[in-house]
Chains A and B, each alone.
Chain A
Amino acid sequence: MSAAESFAAGNAAERLGAVSTGNALELRGVGKMFGALAAIEDVTLTVRSGERRAVLGSNGAGKTTLFNCITGDFLPTTGTIRLFGEDVTRFPAYERIRRGLRRTYQISLLFNGLTVADNVYLACRGVSRGRFSFLRPRRGDTLVARADELIEAVHLTASRDTAVANLSYGQQRQLEIALALAGAPRVVLFDEPAAGLSPTERAELVAILNGLPEHIGYIIIEHDMDVALRVAERVSMMHNGRIFKEGTPEEIENDPEVQELYLGGGDE
C-alpha cells in the first residue's frame, strides 16, 4: 500500500528509499541551544523500524532534550529529523504523534482532574478522528473498548474510575505507558520508565516492554543498566550532549571508555 501510495504521490524515489532502508527515525546533526548552552550537539542517530534502542548517559548528558527535540516539544536549533522517511523537523508535536510517534515523560505528565479511564480515552482520541466531537461516546464505542484494553494491559483495571491525583506513584508510571501505547504506535520514546519503581514493578515493566508487538520500535532512556540491557538490541551512549558510542549491549558493557565514563571507572 505504501509503495502504491508513493508512486501516486509522485515522489516515489524518496518514499521508496525510506521504505527500503526501513528507518523509523533518522537524526542528522541535531543540536539544541538554550541561550549559549548547547544541551545537545551534532547528534546523528538512526533507528530502524521495530528496533529497540537504549540511550544511556549520565545526568545532564542531554538524553531528555534529545527526546524533546524528536517529539517536537522543542524545535531543534540545527539539523534535521526524519520520521519514517518524512522530514518532520519543523512539525508541531501533535503532527508527529499522528504519524505514529509516542512518548512517556520522566516526571509523569497526566491529567490530574480526570479519571484513569478518561486519561486513556483522551490518548486514544488524540490519534483518531473526532477530536472535536461534541457527541459523547455511545455504549460499545470502539475507542472506549480500546482504552479499557490498554488499562488492562498496564494492570490498572481496578483503578479505572479513580482520579489520577489519587493514584500511587507506581500506578501513575503505568498509566504513562498506557497513554504512550494508544492508537497504532510505531516508535515509542520511553523516558526513564523504571525510575522510582520497586524491583517487582521493574520486572513487570521489563515484561511489558518485551511483550510489545514486534513492529513497535522504541528508544528507552534508562539509568538502570539491568533494565536497559535486557530490553534493548542496541545501545547509544551520550555524554555532554553528544552520542559517542553505539553498539550491542555486550559491546557497550565491555567497552573500557564507557566503563570509565558511565560506571565511574568500572567495578573493581
Chain B
Amino acid sequence: MAVVEDRRAGVQPMWVERIPPVWWALGLILLTMPAWAGDFILFQVMGWTFILGIIALSLMFLAGYGGMVSLIQMSVAAMAGYMVAIFGASGVAEISMGLPWWLYIPIAIGVAALFGTIVGALAVRTAGIYTIMITLAIASAFFYFTRQNYTIFNGYSGFNLVVPPQLFGVDWRQAVPFYYLTLGCAAICYAAVVYVSRAPFGLALQGVRDNPRRMAALGFNVTAHRVAAYTFASVIAAIGGILLVWQNAQIAPGTAGIPAVIDILVIAVVGGIGRPIGPFIGALIYVVLSTFSPDLLTAFGLSGERFNLLIGLGFLAVVFFSPDGVLGLWERWQARRARMSDPLKGGGA
C-alpha cells in the first residue's frame, strides 16, 4: 500500500507553482459549474458527491495512511447529524433544543469526535479483519440503538425538518449556495488531509502503518497515535454528517444502516484509498450510478431498482482489475503512455 504522494521536502518552489494544470482546470470547472449546470446536478449529484466524498475521505485517511479499515465512519457522520437535529431545531420539538448554529455545530463535531475516538480506542488494539469486525459490530449497535431509543434519537422516525441556518441572508439549502457550501467543505477537508499527511502527525501515522514495532523503538506511542488518527478522521466524518443531514433535511436510523456503512467502504475502495482524491472519484461514480442507472436500466427493459447490481458489478471489476481503485487504473494508464512515447523503448511519437 505504498502512498504515492508528493515526496519532495526540503527546498521547494512556491506552493502555487507546484499545482499541476489539471488542478487549475478542475478548480475552474467546479467553481463555474452553477453557470452551466442545473439545480438537480448541483444539489443532488454534486452536493451528494462532496458529502459522501468527505465521509469516505475520513476512511481513506485511516485506511490509506494508518492501515486501519474502519467501518464506523458513517456512524460517526450520522452521530454528528443527529446532534445537529437534537441540539439545533427540527420538526420534533419535544426533543430538539433549538440552540443557535454556532453552538450546535461545535457540539455536533465534538460529540462525533468523542464517539469516533472511543470506538478507535477499542479498535486500535486489533488489526486487519478484526478491526473491520469490531467497527462493523459497533456500527450495527449504533443503528439498532438509534432505532430503539425514542428519548434521544426519536427511534424509527428520527428527525425531520432539519435545515441549515439562514446565514448572511442566504438560504443555504438552495441549490447554488448548498453546492458552494459542500464544495468549500470538501476542499477544506481535502486540503487538511493532504497537509497533515506530510506533517509529523501524518508521517508518523504512515510509519505506524508500515512498521508499528519500529515506531515504538523510535520513541512513538503507537496506540496513542492510532487513536488520535481516529479523532482526526472523526472530525472530517462529522463535517460530512452535518452536511448530509442538511441536504436530506432529515435523519433517521437508516442514514447509518449497514448498507450505508458498506457504501462508504465501496466508495473509498472504488475510488482508491492510496490518495485523498480517490474517495471523491469513488463518490462521483457511486452517485452518478445510483442517480442515472435506474433510467438506463429501464431503457434496457430491466427494473429500475437494480442499480445496486451495477454498483456491485463495478465494485467487483475494480477489486479484480485494480486493487488500488480507479485512481490506480489512471496512474497505470499514465505510466504506460509515458513508456509508449519513450523513443528508446519504441512505440508512439
Contact = CB atoms under 8 A, between A and B. Distances in A.
A and B from one assembly? yes
B203 interface: yes
B225 A132 contact: yes
A131 B203 CA distance: 10
A127 interface: yes
Contacts of B1: 113
Contact of B210 (A105, A111, A135, A139): A111
Contacts of B221: 92, 94, 131
B349 interface: no
B201 A144 contact: no
Contact of A122 (B9, B198, B204, B222): B204
Interface in B208-246: 209-211, 213-222, 225, 228
A147 to B, nearest CB: 9
A127 B218 contact: yes
Given A136-B198, A161-B8, A110 B203 contact: no
Contacts of B23: none
Contacts of B207: 111, 114, 119, 122
A157 to B, nearest CB: 12
A73 B8 CA distance: 33
A182 B199 contact: no
Given A132-B228, A179-B218, A113 B209 contact: yes
Contacts of B209: 113
A127 B219 contact: yes
Nearest to B216: A93
A121 B203 CA distance: 9
Interface in B139-195: 195
Interface in B1-46: 1-3, 7-11
A71 B217 contact: yes
Contacts of A92: 216, 221
Nearest to A119: B207
A136 B218 contact: no
A134 B228 CA distance: 11
A113 B8 contact: no
B218 A123 contact: yes
A163 interface: yes
B343 interface: no
A110 B211 CA distance: 7
Nearest to B202: A134
Contacts of B7: 115, 118, 161, 163
B199 A135 contact: yes
Given A111-B206, A127-B218, A134-B201, A73 B213 contact: yes
Contacts of A98: 219
B196 interface: yes
Interface centre among B8, B201, B206, B220 (most CB of A within 10 A): B220
Contacts of A121: 9, 203
A163 B221 CA distance: 24
B346 interface: no
A154 to B, nearest CB: 16
Interface centre among A73, A97, A113, A165 (most CB of B within 10 A): A113
B11 A139 contact: yes
A131 B220 contact: yes
A135 B206 CA distance: 16
A80 B201 CA distance: 34
A203 interface: no
Interface string A116-144: 01110111011100111111110100001
Contacts, number: 120
Contacts of B259: none
B308 to A, nearest CB: 34
Contacts of A126: 204, 215, 218-220
A70 B207 CA distance: 22
A109 B211 contact: yes
Nearest to B200: A133
A177 to B, nearest CB: 13
A135 B225 CA distance: 15
Interface centre among A102, A131, A161, A179 (most CB of B within 10 A): A131
A103 interface: yes
B2 A163 contact: yes
Contact of B214 (A111, A136, A161, A182): A111
Nearest to A109: B214
A259 interface: no
A80 B222 CA distance: 24
B164 to A, nearest CB: 28
Contacts of A131: 200-201, 204, 219-221, 225
Contacts of B213: 73, 109
Interface in A82-115: 92-94, 97-98, 102-103, 105, 109-115
Contacts of B225: 131-132
Contacts of A134: 195-196, 199, 201
Given A103-B217, A113-B3, 6 more contacts: A73-B216, A94-B218, A109-B213, A112-B210, A119-B207, A135-B199
Interface of B: 1-3, 7-11, 195-196, 198-201, 203-204, 206-207, 209-211, 213-222, 225, 228
17 contacts: A92-B221, A94-B217, A94-B221, A105-B214, A111-B207, A111-B214, A113-B3, A113-B206, A114-B206, A123-B218, A127-B219, A131-B204, A131-B219, A132-B200, A132-B225, A133-B199, A134-B196
Interface of A: 71-73, 92-94, 97-98, 102-103, 105, 109-115, 117-119, 121-123, 125-127, 130-137, 139, 144, 161, 163, 165, 179, 182-183
Top 8 A-B pairs, shortest CB-CB distance: A126-B218, A126-B219, A97-B219, A111-B210, A93-B216, A109-B214, A133-B200, A127-B219
